[in-house]
Amino acid sequence: MAVGLVFLATLPFHANPYLLFVGNLAMLYIVLTVGLNLLIGYTGMLAFQNAALFGVGAYGCAVLRVTLGLPYWLSLPAGGLIAMIVGVLVALPALRLTGLYLALATVAFAQFTLWVFLHWYSVTGGPAGIQMHPVDFGVLASTAEYGLYYLTMAIMLAVVALTWNLVRSRIGRAFVAIRESEVAAEALAIDLTRYKTIAYAISALYAGVAGGLFAAMLGIVVPESYDLFQVIAQFAMVVVGGIGSVWGAVIGAVGLIWVQEALRAFKEFQEIAFGGMILLTVLFLRGGAMSLIKRHIKGWDEPLRRIPRKR
């Protein structure tokens, strides 16, 4: 892990601009996938609105920055907050749904949001989207790319650490209890509404922040980034990495970004590859990549509690 961190931190010094871009992309997808896994993997909600919320964060950040002239350090968290608010608004009706109906309703929401991105010209700029000038990091970084890379890295590390703490508490146990049996969770005095809403809110916040980072990295926000392929890509990251595992989400995000980039020349195969990987994982490797690690690395454990210090 230490080796990986050193590699990440020094990547800008030995990588070409393209690799830096891929690294940056992978890290912001880690932020997104760790959040989505809280909702799908831990809490067991088969919900697909995060592709749209990723877009809401990106558009929120871009509109605030370009149209209203807010600095990036304000528009980025604001975009995240807007996504979180929209996410909770989605959660309110979605709380009553589970399984297939939840999946249908949230995919419909994602399609509706895409329609709004395309047609709300006055705010989103329609199909042409919103151009965003590079973020100026001033004395902190020599170029916008370096600055954004380290900002994404800092946010990614914080998100992984905070989430890793969160799941090893009564909150994480409540999430998993709801996934395994809502009736039994309620019988243990776990408030379903409260904990589902928390899961929706956190995953929406992470998706929104990732969206703001994505917008700054590309320099443009366009509707087609947030279409059905985005839904499938995010879902694939969670499933292939490992449902219900923070580290699985990290592996899934990095692994699938790598696959996506390897297939950049054959764009039509990206969707086939992602769909195929979901299918293969569900058929032959239910726990995703994490289940292999659990099986082959002795002593690997992902507890849902703090291990007491030896006294």
Q: Which is nearer to another protein, 40 or 52 (CB)?
A: 40
Instruction: Please pick, from the candidates 33, 43, 106, 163, the single residue that binds another protein as defined by CB under 8 A.
Output: 163
Instruction: Please tell me whether residue 192 binds another protein under the rule CB under 8 A.
Output: yes
CB 198 within 8 A of CB 84: no
Instruction: Please tell me whether residue 198 binds another protein under the rule CB under 8 A.
Output: yes
| First-to-last C-alpha distance (Å) of the chain | 27
Least distance between another protein and beta carbon 48 (Å) = 22
Instruction: Please pick, from the candidates 68, 186, 258, 272, the single residue that binds another protein as defined by CB under 8 A.
Output: 186
Q: Which is nearer to another protein, 69 or 299 (CB)?
A: 299
Instruction: Please tell me whether residue 267 binds another protein under the rule CB under 8 A.
Output: no
Which residue stretch of 10-18, 118-126, 137-145, 157-165 sits at the interface with another protein (rule: CB under 8 A)? 157-165
Least distance between another protein and beta carbon 175 (Å) = 10
Instruction: Please tell me whether residue 188 binds another protein under the rule CB under 8 A.
Output: yes
In angstroms, what CA-CA distances link 143 with 14, 17, 63, 146, 155?
15, 11, 23, 5, 18
Which residue stretch of 170-178, 227-235, 253-261, 270-278 sits at the interface with another protein (rule: CB under 8 A)? 170-178
Report, in angstroms and rounded to the nearest whole number, the Rg of the chain calculated over CA atoms: 19
Instruction: Please pick, from the candidates 128, 184, 272, 292, the single residue that binds another protein as defined by CB under 8 A.
Output: 184
x/- track of binding to another protein for residues 200-219 (CB under 8 A): --x-----------------
Instruction: Please tell me whether residue 308 binds another protein under the rule CB under 8 A.
Output: yes
Instruction: Please tell me whether residue 304 binds another protein under the rule CB under 8 A.
Output: yes
Instruction: Please tell me whether residue 190 binds another protein under the rule CB under 8 A.
Output: yes
Instruction: Please pick, from the candidates 89, 140, 162, 282, the single residue that binds another protein as defined by CB under 8 A.
Output: 162
Phi, then psi, of 129 in degrees rounded to 5: 75, -160
Q: Which is nearer to another protein, 163 or 234 (CB)?
A: 163
Positions touching another protein (CB under 8 A) are 162-163, 165-166, 168-174, 176-177, 179-181, 183-192, 198, 202, 244, 303-306, 308-309
